[in-house]
Amino acid sequence: MDKKSVSILINANSYLHYMGNPVQRAKEIIEDRIKAVRSGSVELRNGCVACHTIFTLADRLRTNEADAADLLTQVLTNYPALNDEFIDVVEDIHMRSRMLAMSFYGRSREAKDKYIESYFRNALTELQSDIIKHNGSIVLRKLVLNYLSIYLAQTLGVDHHAATEEMYYMLRKHEDFDSYLDSFVNKLMKELKSNK
C-alpha cells in the first residue's frame, strides 16, 4: 500500500471513530453553539439557548430532539466546566440581556445554587403536604397541569405565568378538556398503583 492510500485509510478511520463517538461530537457542537451565542453570530431573538442547542444537535447529528436533549444532558453532566459555561450563557441571554430575574442573575453561583435547592425543598414539602391533606390524584393533577403549562411556555416562547393563564383559560372554556384531564390523571394513578 502506498503512502497516499495509508493516509486516506488513517483519515477514514479517524473520521469513522469521530462519527462513532456521539458524545464527543455533541460536546464539540455544544462548545461551538456557546461560542456562537456569546459572540452574537447567532440571532436568538426571543428564542431559547437550550432549544437552539438541542435543535442544532438534532440537525447536525441527524437525530430527533428527544435524543438530542438527552445527549445535551449527558455531555453537560460529564463535563462540569462546560455545564457551568452553558448555564452562564443561558443566564446571560435569558436574564441579563432580557432584563428578567435580575436579582437572581446578580447573585454568585453558590448563592444561586442555595436558592434553587431551597426552592426545590419547599416545593417538595408543599407537594407532600398536599398528599397528606388531600390525596395523590390531586397532587398528580397539579403536577400534570404544571407540566402542561411549562410545555406550553416552551412551545409558545412565553413566560410560565402567561402559559399558565392560557392553560386555565382553556380549562374554563372547554369542559371536555377538563374531563379529559381528569380521565388522564385517573388512568395514570391506576398505572402507578399497578406498577408498585
Query: What's this model's pTM, rounded to 2 decimal places?
Result: 0.63
Residues whose CB is less than 8 angstroms from the CB of residue 145 and which lie 6 or more positions away in sequence, other chains included: 167, 181
Quote the pLDDT of residue 57. Answer: 95
For residue 117, the model assigns a pLDDT of 93
Give the per-residue pLDDT at 19: 54
For residue 55, what pLDDT is reported?
92
Q: Please list the pLDDT of the chain residue by residue as tens digits (196 residues).
A: 666 655 554 544 444 444 568 899 999 999 999 999 988 888 887 778 888 999 999 999 999 988 998 999 999 999 999 999 998 888 888 878 878 777 887 889 899 899 889 989 998 998 888 888 888 888 898 899 999 999 988 887 777 777 888 888 887 788 888 888 889 999 998 988 888 7
- Give the pLDDT of residue 94: 80
Residue-level pLDDT at 1: 62
Which residues are CB-neighbours of 51 under 8 A, at least 6 positions away? 154
CA of 88: how far to CAs of 39, 49, 140, 164, 171, in Å?
Answer: 14, 11, 33, 27, 37
